[in-house]
Structure 1
Amino acid sequence: MKRRNFMQLCAAATGSAFAGASKRPSQPNVVFIYGDDVGFGDVGAYGSKMIPTPNIDRLAKGGLLFTDGHCAAATCTPSRFSLLTGIHGFRHNARVLPPNAPLIIPTDKLTLPKLFNQAGYHTGVVGKWHLGIGDGETPVDWNADVKPGPLEVGFKYSFLLPSTNDRVPCVYVENHRVVNLDPADPLYVGNKLKEVQKPDSTQYPSGKTNREAMTFYQSTHDHDNSIINGIGRIGYMSGGKAALWKEETIADEFVMQAKKYIAMHKDEPFMLYFASQDIHVPRAPHPRFKGKTELGYRGDAMVAFDWATGEIMNALEEHGLAENTIVIFSSDNGPVYDDGYDDGTTVFCSSEESDRGHDASGQWRGGKYQIFEGGTRVPFIVRWPARIKPGTSDAMVNQIDLLSSFAELLNIELPEGEAGDSRSTLATFLGKDQKGQEFMIEESFGLALRFNEWKYTQPVQPKWPNGRPPIERALYNLDNDPGETKNIIAEHPEIAAQMEMKLAEMKASGGVRK
């Protein structure tokens, strides 16, 4: 990179992303298969030797595998927010949400499902939500209509784990209703025990005073409120006993619902967002997956996620839909090992640590919660047999750009002010362009800017899980130093200053499409 061209190249990349629009093809179906805490190195096609992933590898062999593919943030809620809105999470204070948090996606904003609805698609979400439910003004009544939520931001059907599997409530919600809820055992959810101590509902033990009730495995930190199914959770709940999910069959339930959705809508264009809970904690793979790896629950949960991927691919093939269906496989953030439970995996993932010889971040440094590459550089595969030639691409791509890319594919003009951080990378996703984006923001507790091989990180003083240290102001060259071990800011102060200025400009601007 020539230093004098940095700002000019940034400006050119911003302007050229929207030049032209492709002719609308016959409407392909679209299926997002979204993993949770799945790292770059957790997939065989990306180099994993200790976790068998034959189905994901088959998907990669038939599609385009990106080696520089990113989620928008190193934690789940902001990544999911960005994927669905085309807006960086920090602009809406999107952070990892507590169990009873309100919906954080504004209902008047354009979203991926709304975009597909405009093009005549049916849209559905199956799996983990963790973007909040409710209006924030009145508490959610879990015994009546549970809303606003996915339907209010554009999905026409939803079957959810409403928060995440380490948080209450431990029930499924289909559209606006808790599944199998017994009216005689009303469900209450809160952040404090006293908020759910109701005489008319089932009471669950608290891990604060009854650690012996954690019979599945013990929590290591923070996950010691209500104990459900022998596992400590974040947050408190009472009631809803008949509606409780069964820990080891969550993957089976989500796969069944996804296959039902595909079968029901096979004769019309559809977009399915399948957001697996695997391999997020508490990891509790079905007994048929236990022992499939030498890595304990984490490795076995990844095998379960691979199975789920295969089942969805098989369903598409069974209904004759595989040829004209775009399947996008990725993850919401990088890997984490100990994330609240003593489940037999090792400590927080970093480039210096590995799980019995398996490094879930591959060659990249860090993982979930961290601004290093391992926090956002994740598996990213796009398959569309009708249009995409299989192969590997080193182009830099980001999930936040999928909304604008699909708008171009569907020949829909985005309204001004919508999806402000999303730029079309359609040609790259189709394998027609090998460069992708020249710059992008990475987000954790602070921000970083990627520009081709260069990476600049802001100084941050985060409250790290497991006592991680603060981040220094730094500049790395990823071509020469993929592990981000050498801060070369002293050798290239001009590049650092230009990137710092560009990052500040992007943060203040409201997005590239402001």
Structure 2
Amino acid sequence: MFSWNVSVKAQSKTSQPNIIIIFTDDQGYQDIGVFGSPLIKTPNLDKMAADGIKFTDFYSASSICSPSRAALLTGAYPQRIGVPEVLWPNIAGGLSSEETTIADMLKTKNYATACIGKWHLGDEAQYLPTNQGFDFYYGIPFSNDMSVNPKSKVNKKIVFREGMTIDSLRQKKWRKSRVPLFQQDEIVEYPVDQSTLSKRYTQQAVNFISDHKEEPFFLYLAHSMPHVPLFASENFKGKSARGLYGDVIEEIDWGVGEILKTLENLNIDKNTLVIFTSDNGPWTSKGDKGGSALPLRGGKFLTYEGGMRVPMIAKWSGKIKEGTVTHEVASTIDFLPTIAHLTDANLPEKEIDGKNIWKLLSGKKSKSPHKKEGFYYYKESTLEAVRQGDWKLRITKKEGVELFNLEEDVSEKNNVASQHPKTVKKLRKMMEEFDAELQKNKRNQEHLLKK
């Protein structure tokens, strides 16, 4: 396939740990071999799970793009920090620079930081990664089915494709799935060749790791796919038994392998925590172009398990016990406080919702820090569900009151609300109290009020 030559010089054993988070887009719970995919081959992710830990009950904080990313980077429910909805090109708003991202936090510990891939937290200059703690940015600023912000800064050496010009870029005309490639805060290619995106993201990631092998680094690699439209490079196109969707996942899996191989070649794998997960469940209405959440119910946009329970694998040679599987509840909002613990960084001054899950990650016997307080499922600005232990209460206008025992009924087929009125009452009260606190203390809502 592809490879990049790297020189070998290990970080010292006393170095701060490197952190790598690989975040895919719309990848379903089942769409990895070790999570049960019958057709998609993911040997690198399967080995990563064998060498590390697999979380079966891991959650994104939203079932849609922008909120899930805001939550991961800040450790807070997205409704708390003003990103409850999907952000569109050329629309005011984004993740406020007043929030502390993982990158902001790690800059205080002298980390090199990079965001590679999909951003989707605002495309105006003030909201781009380079103003959110990241030294380096390379990727597209929103979903790959969107268009371009005609006001964006353009590099003098921009590469135009498909007959586009500076004049056509500056037009307000919506050109679906013709998206810009950014480097730092400038467009360097328009529209980007999406068939090479996954490969180029991997190359940029390997280069960043190699360039910063002698200092602590944080790499946030947010793949643009398998969000539609789907594209794979020539080396992967037409190779998977699952069609183009499978090709895309198998190319991402290859990229994971290249990153892990680079860490080993540089002799820094024992000083690097690598996390792989997805932003939300699969876009099931896209048919064979979308993924699978089986055995879970639902997918993207929904607060059933298939919308927010996602695959999660973590590896850290010598620190995470090999072949571990945990069924405890954890979430992307837990990344920031866990990384703060590992790097001895200060937590943000403003309130967050995540918990330190290092005991879970390291494979030690431990209960979820969400076991007592619960994990909450929002749909945009509306709280629809809570999970506490094995019980999940979901309340919506369409389906009414639903209670599921997820240990016995992971597919959420049997609503047992009428059989457990005390549990319904208890969980409903938890929802009401948590949402009242969040609504009272939420922040950075100004751009939402301007709509």
Q: Scaled by the length of structure 2, what TM-score is found? A: 0.84
Tell me which amino acid in the other structure corresponds to 1:459: T
Gaps of 5+ in 2: 1-12, 181-186, 443-451
Equivalent in the alignment of 1:388: 320
Tell me, yes or no, if structure 1 residue 76 matches structure 2 residue 55.
no
Q: How far has the Cα of 1:366 moved from its partner?
A: 1.1
Match of 1:90 among 79, 84, 109: 79
Residue 89 of structure 2 contacts residue 147 of structure 2 at CA under 8 Å; is this kept in 1? yes
SS at match of 1:32: strand
Match of 2:51 among 44, 62, 70: 62
The 1-side partners of 2:310 and 2:129 are apart by 25
**Residues 228/428 of structure 1: CA separation in 2 closer, same or farther (3 Å cut):** closer
Residue 279 of structure 1 contacts residue 305 of structure 1 at CA under 8 Å; is this kept in 2? no
The 2-side partners of 1:411 and 1:266 are apart by 20
Equivalent in the alignment of 1:196: 172
The 1-side partners of 2:215 and 2:121 are apart by 28
SS at match of 1:473: strand
Q: RMSD over aligned Cα, in angstroms?
A: 2.8
Tell me, yes or no, if structure 1 residue 167 matches structure 2 residue 146.
yes
Tell me which amino acid in the other structure corresponds to 2:355: R
Matched ranges for 1:276-295 at <5 A: 276-295=223-242
**Residues 297/338 of structure 1: CA separation in 2 closer, same or farther (3 Å cut):** farther
Equivalent in the alignment of 2:417: 489
Residue 394 of structure 2 contacts residue 403 of structure 2 at CA under 8 Å; is this kept in 1? yes
The 1-side partners of 2:106 and 2:71 are apart by 16
Farther off after superposition, 243-252 or 437-446: 437-446
Tell me which amino acid in the other structure corresponds to 1:482: V
**Residues 242/509 of structure 1: CA separation in 2 closer, same or farther (3 Å cut):** closer
The 2-side partners of 1:227 and 1:69 are apart by 33
Tell me which amino acid in the other structure corresponds to 1:312: I
Tell me, yes or no, if structure 1 residue 440 matches structure 2 residue 440.
no
The 2-side partners of 1:459 and 1:482 are apart by 19
The 2-side partners of 1:397 and 1:45 are apart by 19
**Residues 168/323 of structure 1: CA separation in 2 closer, same or farther (3 Å cut):** same
Residue 179 of structure 1 contacts residue 243 of structure 1 at CA under 8 Å; is this kept in 2? no
The 1-side partners of 2:46 and 2:167 are apart by 42
SS at match of 1:456: strand
Tell me which amino acid in the other structure corresponds to 2:79: F
The 1-side partners of 2:434 and 2:134 are apart by 30
Tell me, yes or no, if structure 1 residue 186 matches structure 2 residue 175.
no
Q: Scaled by the length of structure 1, what TM-score is found? A: 0.75
Equivalent in the alignment of 1:15: none
**Residues 170/385 of structure 1: CA separation in 2 closer, same or farther (3 Å cut):** farther
**Residues 130/257 of structure 1: CA separation in 2 closer, same or farther (3 Å cut):** same
Tell me which amino acid in the other structure corresponds to 1:124: A
Equivalent in the alignment of 2:401: 473
Tell me which amino acid in the other structure corresponds to 1:388: I
Q: How far has the Cα of 1:54 moved from its partner?
A: 0.4
Q: How far has the Cα of 1:507 moved from its partner?
A: 1.6
Q: How far has the Cα of 1:196 moved from its partner?
A: 2.4
**Residues 72/245 of structure 1: CA separation in 2 closer, same or farther (3 Å cut):** same
Equivalent in the alignment of 1:424: 356
CA offset digits 1:264-319 (Å, max 9, x no partner): 11110000000011211000112321222232221211111111111211221222
Q: How far has the Cα of 1:415 moved from its partner?
A: 4.4
The 2-side partners of 1:119 and 1:450 are apart by 35
Farther off after superposition, 434-443 or 240-249: 240-249
Equivalent in the alignment of 2:388: 451
Tell me which amino acid in the other structure corresponds to 2:310: V
Q: How far has the Cα of 1:444 moved from its partner?
A: 2.9
Q: How far has the Cα of 1:102 moved from its partner?
A: 3.8
Q: How far has the Cα of 1:83 moved from its partner?
A: 0.4
Equivalent in the alignment of 2:436: 508
Match of 2:107 among 117, 126, 140: 117
The 2-side partners of 1:511 and 1:262 are apart by 40
Tell me, yes or no, if structure 1 residue 254 matches structure 2 residue 187.
no
The 1-side partners of 2:78 and 2:230 are apart by 26
Equivalent in the alignment of 2:299: 367
CA offset digits 1:356-375 (Å, max 9, x no partner): xxxx2121111111111111
Tell me, yes or no, if structure 1 residue 267 matches structure 2 residue 214.
yes
Residue 125 of structure 1 contacts residue 157 of structure 1 at CA under 8 Å; is this kept in 2? yes
SS at match of 2:246: helix
Matched ranges for 1:304-343 at <5 A: 304-339=251-286
Residue 105 of structure 2 contacts residue 348 of structure 2 at CA under 8 Å; is this kept in 1? no
Equivalent in the alignment of 2:119: 129
Farther off after superposition, 287-296 or 159-168: 287-296
Equivalent in the alignment of 2:449: none
**Residues 511/262 of structure 1: CA separation in 2 closer, same or farther (3 Å cut):** farther
The 1-side partners of 2:195 and 2:16 are apart by 37
Larger Rg over CA atoms: 1
**Residues 308/103 of structure 1: CA separation in 2 closer, same or farther (3 Å cut):** farther
Gaps of 5+ in 1: 1-23, 135-145, 198-224, 234-239, 350-359, 461-469
**Residues 393/308 of structure 1: CA separation in 2 closer, same or farther (3 Å cut):** same
Q: How far has the Cα of 1:27 moved from its partner?
A: 1.1
CA offset digits 1:66-116 (Å, max 9, x no partner): 111111111111110000111211231421121223452111211111111
**Residues 322/73 of structure 1: CA separation in 2 closer, same or farther (3 Å cut):** same
Equivalent in the alignment of 2:33: 44
The 1-side partners of 2:167 and 2:391 are apart by 51
CA offset digits 1:472-498 (Å, max 9, x no partner): 221111111111111111111111111
The 2-side partners of 1:385 and 1:158 are apart by 28
Tell me which amino acid in the other structure corresponds to 1:123: T
Aligned length: 413
